[in-house]
Chains A and B, each alone.
Chain A
Amino acid sequence: MLAKRIIPCLDVKDGQTVKGTNFLQLRQAGDPVELGKLYSRQGADELVFLDITASHEGRKTFTDMVQKVAAQIDIPFTVGGGISELSDVERMLSAGADKISVNSAALRRPELIDEIVSRFGSQVCVVAIDAKQDEKGWTCYLNGGRIPTERNLFEWAKEVNDRGAGEILFTSMNHDGVKQGFACDALSQLASLLTIPVIASGGAGQMEDFRDVFAKGHADAALAASVFHFGQISIPELKEYLRKENINVRV
């Protein structure tokens, strides 16, 4: 049976991880390649590296890092942040990334999804969606959650699915950073609406949240950052817990 995936996410700026970590055993705690290796050894199923650099220099550093990750890490990884055209996708894939994620650029110009899929295949194309729930429902946001759009989460997710994307990475802005659990209701609706896998992001605080995101939210994968980086949850313990809760994970 296909396993549910646990995915640590690393934010990278100028070649260094941004959110601090308490992995004292790492020689360079800020080195994303070292941290990625550690997660891989601990049983992470995939890794996501997000480039949060704005400068051109930083972009080049990020590409160098992607090459190092590809050479040193033997599990699949996705890279995202600042991918706005086909040439960015090509650069990341030739550096060795398995998948890329697009967010704002796809909302601004949805045809980008079709172009990536027809050129490189669905399996490389992850579309990240940041959305926030208010009295009007779930609204998609641009630029890391700074700019609201007119698009509704479910309507946009269905369009992304139908344009041939391989996966959707959905971050609930209401849940992100709050550590009170994932947006299981919205995730469950996405699971019944879509025919592609959904990666849940935003809200992981304790191990029970991961059980719920799979059992109640029907997510295919769960992504988290700080609970792993700060060692509040260790991946081997999490997987052992999930296995006992009858969630099929790779152990």
Chain B
Amino acid sequence: MKVAVVKYNAGNIFSVIHALQRMGVEPVLTDSAEELRSADRVIFPGQGEASGAMHYLREHGLDTLIPSLKQPVLGICIGQQLMCRHSEEGDVDCLGIFNADVKRFIPVRHQDKIPHMGWNTIQAYGSPKNSPKGGLLSFPYGGDGEGQFVYFVHSYYVPICEHTAAVTEYIHPFSSAMHKDNFYATQFHPEKSGEVGQHILKNFLEIEC
């Protein structure tokens, strides 16, 4: 299986590559349209800032390429946010795959700290089409990822929308996983989420096309 990781100016891409290597997959890190189109799976990872990332994607023609991909694509963290219509971070238009706009967390109580950082639980959300059996969040234990702890680091979030596949509660409920057609996304970092995260990555590699 050929797994391509989208190369762009986002930080900490190597943790995804290491996670795949631990699963015996040797991914290619690339911004080449040809390589991305021909891969069996594409991962769009990263930590970073939305407007700077979008600028890079536009300069490299990836802003039109990524939404046109036909194989399973997994956005992680800022990847999920960039797959939405617009982000408040740098007030930037994004890839428009998911019909949602990215907002900044606003603390309500003193103990609401930004970024939302650490381990929090996910709950499956929406119709079964968003978390199909054999899909991203299917677990041999506990159903569709119900109550599993995963690792988050983010200051912006995607509100609950028609493409929400899992919800996490921090200050208020938000989309911690999303799904539309061949596009999957997680706000959390599966590559840093221990066994649960590795299971989610494995699910992604095994999704039937």
Contact = CB atoms under 8 A, between A and B. Distances in A.
Chain B interface residue number, banded: 35 or more
Q: A-side binding surface: helix, strand, loop or mixed?
A: loop
A250 B119 CA distance: 7
B115 A74 contact: no
Interface stretch (B36-44, B60-68, B192-200): B192-200
A121 interface: yes
Given A2-B120, A45-B118, A74 B191 contact: yes
Interface string B100-114: 000000010011011
Contact of A120 (B11, B14, B153, B191): B11
A71 B47 CA distance: 18
A166 interface: yes
Interface in A1-45: 1-3, 5, 40, 45
Interface stretch (B18-26, B27-35, B128-136): B18-26
B151 interface: yes
Contact of A45 (B14, B22, B119): B119
Contact of A2 (B14, B49, B118, B191): B118
A96 B169 contact: no
Contacts of B191: 74
Contacts of A75: 151, 192-194
Interface string A76-113: 10000000000000000100101000000000000000
Contacts, number: 78
Given A98-B192, A166-B115, A1 B153 contact: no
Nearest to B114: A195
B121 A166 contact: no
Q: B-side binding surface: helix, strand, loop or mixed?
A: mixed
Nearest to A197: B113
B188 to A, nearest CB: 11
Contact of B120 (A3, A120, A121, A197): A3
B182 interface: no
Given A1-B121, A3-B120, A197-B117, A96 B15 contact: yes
Contacts of A3: 118-120, 149
Contacts of B21: 71
A5 B119 contact: yes
B19 A74 contact: yes
Contacts of B48: 121
A2 B116 contact: yes
Contacts of B114: 195
B198 A74 contact: yes
A198 to B, nearest CB: 10
A96 B16 CA distance: 11
Interface in A48-67: none
Contacts of A250: 119, 149
Contact of A123 (B115, B120, B198): B115
A233 interface: no
Interface of B: 11-12, 14-15, 18-19, 21-22, 47-49, 107, 110-111, 113-121, 149, 151, 153, 169-170, 191-195, 197-198
Q: Which 5 interchain pairs have the tightest Cβ spacing?
A: A250-B149, A3-B119, A250-B119, A123-B153, A71-B18
Interface of A: 1-3, 5, 40, 45, 70-72, 74-76, 93, 96, 98, 120-123, 166-167, 191-192, 195-197, 218, 220-221, 250
